[in-house]
């Protein structure tokens, strides 16, 4: 454990954290010698696990050659090679990459790029973004403004740009009993169409959405046809589609990009976590050719920039991560282990009285906790069930990524799992077993869930 005195301003003040000292494969070790299975890849970051020899060697080699060169003076071989790799496997029409240092920076860049695109093509009146409730796009001010998590936004609201929010695609809570998934998707697209009309289609810059919802919603998968409907709607009004795949992208759902499974390509796409697998801080915006063309024909530059854009060591780490994923067929592994994980969770929680939903894709899955499966009543948020589960899991040597406020920023608890793609079936069994114990112990500690929160109205009426 850390000594009581710390000069680090930690996320939660006054809480004692174990000190991580080493990592290997899916396991992290703390200073007391205790080991933890990293079943969440931190926050869906560590796609190759820890201490991967190829990535570490690539970083060493890059540092020995060149550790840093500012991008207003130079490009580097390694940034060019990484961009070539990403462009080669990008969704239809995407052929340029803008490198940044993380997910929030990627979103900020995408928002500004979208706005500048319309200035370049002579539509400077476009000024509105539309995003979704319950989404998470990062913690910087622009990212927080498009984000839809009420609790995270609340105290910073006076500082945030005005963004319109529509319903998330949240089938478990919001699809009516007599509605097909497709009809539900159409209803959501119609809601977005209404919002575009309200703002004036000629005034809207972009719709921003996580392809599969992550941190604040818990692996929310889109219903069939939803994103195709969104794409058509955006095209009809000349509105850009920005997909945020910072968490769900780069293989996490079993395909390199989550949008491949939706059969659409965005105009701008943000990626980060799995891009560098945690070995270095790196994110990127993948950009459609026509956006780049508009910049080329117009001002000739993107009015943005940070000191560490395209950092050579970060690019070297990411290039190595992406090469290992291809060489070792880890997308296939992700799909297969994803099936194993899902089967394990179904066995352990499929008829658990307090698990209302098991959802996700590939190695990006979540369970949502309820006091009662029939009424889908969430736990009283005062219990902080999600925090208890995280603590009980850590006590059992298991890292998970639970969050509260799943439903509306206040109510609801889920646990997100996103293990490295190299996880073995045996490790998956251990993950499921330890998670089961942690969930049961946490629920027992709040008194078997008798104290549910008041059932909530559907998102459509909130």
Ligand X SMILES: Cc1ncc(COP(=O)(O)O)c(C=O)c1O
Binding site for ligand X (CB under 6 A): 43, 102-104, 107, 136-138, 210, 214-215, 244, 246-247, 272
CA–CA gap between residue 351 and residue 333 (Å, rounded): 27
Asked if residue 211 lies in contact with residue 249, where contact means CB atoms within 8 angstroms, the answer is yes
Residue 350: Cβ within 10 Å count: 10
Of 149 and 430, the one with the shorter C-beta distance to ligand X is: 149
Q: How far is the CB of 135 from ligand X (least distance, A)?
A: 7
Of 24 and 139, the one with the shorter C-beta distance to ligand X is: 139
Q: How far is the CB of 457 from ligand X (least distance, A)?
A: 26
Q: How many Cα atoms occupy the beta-carbon half-sphere of 111 within 13 Å? A: 26
Q: How far is the CB of 310 from ligand X (least distance, A)?
A: 16
Of 131 and 411, the one with the shorter C-beta distance to ligand X is: 131
240 phi and psi angles, rounded to 5 deg:
-80, 150
Of 129 and 379, the one with the shorter C-beta distance to ligand X is: 129
**CA-closest candidate to residue 270, choices 96, 92, 103:** 103
DSSP, collapsed to helix, strand or coil, labels residue 389 as helix
Of 225 and 249, the one with the shorter C-beta distance to ligand X is: 249
Q: How far is the CB of 391 from ligand X (least distance, A)?
A: 20
Residue with the shortest CB distance to ligand X? 103
CA–CA gap between residue 393 and residue 416 (Å, rounded): 12
Q: 370-387 burial string, b = 16+ CB within 10 Å, else e?
A: bbeeeebbbbbbebbbbe
Q: How far is the CB of 445 from ligand X (least distance, A)?
A: 28
Axis crossing angle, helix 312-327 with helix 330-349, rounded to the nearest 10: 80
Q: How far is the CB of 246 from ligand X (least distance, A)?
A: 3
Q: How far is the CB of 137 from ligand X (least distance, A)?
A: 5
Of 117 and 136, the one with the shorter C-beta distance to ligand X is: 136
Q: Dihedral sign for Cα 52, 81, 118, 71, please.
A: positive
**CA-closest candidate to residue 391, choices 323, 449, 311, 445:** 445
In the block, which residue shows the tokens 């940044």? 100
Of 210 and 408, the one with the shorter C-beta distance to ligand X is: 210
Task: Give Rg (Cα) of the chain.
Answer: 22
H helix or E strand, kind and range, residue 186: helix 181-199
Of 214 and 344, the one with the shorter C-beta distance to ligand X is: 214
CA–CA gap between residue 47 and residue 328 (Å, rounded): 13
Of 216 and 430, the one with the shorter C-beta distance to ligand X is: 216
DSSP, collapsed to helix, strand or coil, labels residue 271 as strand
| β-strand pairing of 204-210 with 240-244 | parallel
Q: How far is the CB of 247 from ligand X (least distance, A)?
A: 3
**CA-closest candidate to residue 218, choices 372, 426, 40:** 40
Q: How far is the CB of 433 from ligand X (least distance, A)?
A: 27
Of 38 and 210, the one with the shorter C-beta distance to ligand X is: 210
Q: How far is the CB of 322 from ligand X (least distance, A)?
A: 18
DSSP, collapsed to helix, strand or coil, labels residue 17 as coil
Q: Which residues neighbour 103 within 8 Å (Cβ) at sequence distance 6 or greater?
A: 137, 138, 143, 244, 246, 247, 270, 272, 273, 283
């Amino acid at each position: 454990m850390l000594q009581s005195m710390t000069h680090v301003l930690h996320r939660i003040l006054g809480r004692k954290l174990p000190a991580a000292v080493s990592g290997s494969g899916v396991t992290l070790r703390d200073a007391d010698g205790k080991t933890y299975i990293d079943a969440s890849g931190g926050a869906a970051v560590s796609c190759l696990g820890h201490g991967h020899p190829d990535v570490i060697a690539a970083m060493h080699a890059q540092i020995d050659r060149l550790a840093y060169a500012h991008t207003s003076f130079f490009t580097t071989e390694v940034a060019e090679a990484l961009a070539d790799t990403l462009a080669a496997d990008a969704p239809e029409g995407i052929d340029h990459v803008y490198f940044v240092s993380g997910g929030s920076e990627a979103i900020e860049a995408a928002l500004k790029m979208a706005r500048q695109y319309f200035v370049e093509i002579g539509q400077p009146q476009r000024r509105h973004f539309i995003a979704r409730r319950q989404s998470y796009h990062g913690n910087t001010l622009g990212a927080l403004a498009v984000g839809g998590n009420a609790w995270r936004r609340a105290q910073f609201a006076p500082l945030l740009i005005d963004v319109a929010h529509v319903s998330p695609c949240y089938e478990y809570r919001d699809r009516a009993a007599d509605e097909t998934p497709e009809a539900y998707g159409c209803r959501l697209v119609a809601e977005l169409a209404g919002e575009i009309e309200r703002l004036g289609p000629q005034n809207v810059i972009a719709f921003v959405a996580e392809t599969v919802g992550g941190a604040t919603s818990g692996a929310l998968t889109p219903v069939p046809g939803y994103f195709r409907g969104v794409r058509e709607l955006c095209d009809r009004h000349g509105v850009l589609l920005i997909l945020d795949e910072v968490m769900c992208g780069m293989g996490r759902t079993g395909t390199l990009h989550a949008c491949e499974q939706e059969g659409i390509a965005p105009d701008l796409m943000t990626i980060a976590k799995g891009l560098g697998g945690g070995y270095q801080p790196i994110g990127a915006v993948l950009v459609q050719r026509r956006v780049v063309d508009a910049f080329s024909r117009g001002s000739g530059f993107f009015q943005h920039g940070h000191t560490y854009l395209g950092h050579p060591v970060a690019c070297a780490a990411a290039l190595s991560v992406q090469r290992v994923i291809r060489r070792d067929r880890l997308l296939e592994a992700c799909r297969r282990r994803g099936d194993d994980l899902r089967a394990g969770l179904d066995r352990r929680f499929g008829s658990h009285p307090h698990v209302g939903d098991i959802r996700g894709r590939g190695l990006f899955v979540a369970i949502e906790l309820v006091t009662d499966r029939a009424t889908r009543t969430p736990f009283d948020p005062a219990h902080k069930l999600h925090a208890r589960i995280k603590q009980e899991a850590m006590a059992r040597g298991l890292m998970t990524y639970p969050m509260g406020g799943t439903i509306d920023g206040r109510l609801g608890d889920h646990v997100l799992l996103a293990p490295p793609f190299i996880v073995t079936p045996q490790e998956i069994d251990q993950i499921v077993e330890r998670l089961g114990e942690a969930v049961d112990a946490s629920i027992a500690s709040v008194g078997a869930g008798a104290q549910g929160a008041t059932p909530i109205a559907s998102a459509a009426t909130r």
